[in-house]
Structure 1
Amino acid sequence: MRKIIPILLFVLGFSAFLIYVLYANRERRFPEANMTRLNDAETQWYAAGIQHYQITVEVEFAAERRRHIVTVQNGQVTEATLSYLVGETWTPPEPVGAEFAGEFTVPGLFNALRFELNQRQREDVRVDMNVSPAYPRYMYFGPVWLEGEPMASSEARFTVVAFVPLSAP
C-alpha cells in the first residue's frame, strides 16, 4: 500500500498538470493569423467554386455558447438556425434572418477574421484553416486590449463543427 500511494499521487499530479497545459494553452497549438494566410485561403475557397453547402459553426464567449446552422445555395443563405447551449443541452433551433446568418457562411468567417486582423485590438488572433476546401475551421480571438489592459470576458472562439457540400438545387 505504501508503494501505491506515491505512484497514485504522481499520476494524479501529472494528470492535473497535463489538463492545465492542454486547456490553458489550447489556442497556442494553432498558428497566429495573418493577412497572407487569410488571403491565400480565401483565394483557394473562391477558386473551388463551392456555391452549395451547409455549415455548422459553434461560437463560444465567456458567458455564452451558440450553434449556427446555415444552408447556402447558389452562394446565398437559404436557411439558418440558431441554438444556445444551456447547461449541457442545446435549445431547439430557432430560424434567423439571412443577413445575420451571413456572418457564419464561409465568406462571413473570412470577413470576421479580416476585421479582427485590421482592428488590431487583440494581441492574439489564431486560425486553423481547413485544407480542401479552404476555410477557417477554428478561429480564436484573444482578449480585446484597451488602455494597455485586457478586457474581461472578451475572448471568442469560432469552431466549424460540420461542413457539408450540397448538390445544386
Structure 2
Amino acid sequence: MKTFTVPTKDQVSPANQALFDNLTKAVGSVPNLYATLAYSDHALANYLTLQSGKTSLRAKEREIINLVVSQVNKCLYCLSAHTAISKMQGFTDEQILEIRKAEITFDPKFDALAKLVKSISENQGHADHQLVENFYAAGYNDGNLADVVIAVGDKIITNYMFALTAVPIDFPVAPEL
C-alpha cells in the first residue's frame, strides 16, 4: 500500500491554504485526515461544506452517528477524533463506549438512533424495519431520518479516507471495545 504523508500548508493549493488557516483558527490545528483531503484542490472544501451544513440533529446526536458509523467501519482515526469531541459535548467515557456498541442505557431516544445507525451502516442502507419504526416512536421524524442519512454519508467519507491512507492519528487514541 502506498504510504501517505500528511501535506503541510505550503504543499497544498492556495485555496486549501486558506482552509488550513480557517481550521487552525477554529480548532487550533488542521487534523491530519483533513489535511490529506487537501491533496485534492476540491475535496477538503467539499467535505467541509457537507460537514458544516444545516441539520435538524443536535450536536450530541451527530456524535452518536459519528461514533457508531466509525465503530462499524473500524475507523480508529474517527473513533479517536469523535471520542474527544463527544467528551467536549458532555458524554462520559462510559457513555461513549455504550454509544459505540449501540447499546445505550442512559437515554432511550439516543438508543433508538444508535441502533438505527448501526443497522444502516451494517446493511448498506437497508436498515431493519423495526429499528426504523423504533426511531420514529422515539420522537424522530422524516426530516430527522434524511439528516441521519446525510450524517452517515459524511462519516463514511472520512472512514474510507483513513482506511485508504492510514495517516497518523493526531488525537488521543480511542480505547478498544
- Compare relative contact order (CA 8 Å, sep 6+) and give the higher one, 1 or 2: 2
Larger Rg: 1
More strand by share: 1
TM-score (norm 1): 0.24
Query: Which structure carries more helix by proportion?
Result: 2
Q: TM-score, normalised by structure 2?
A: 0.23
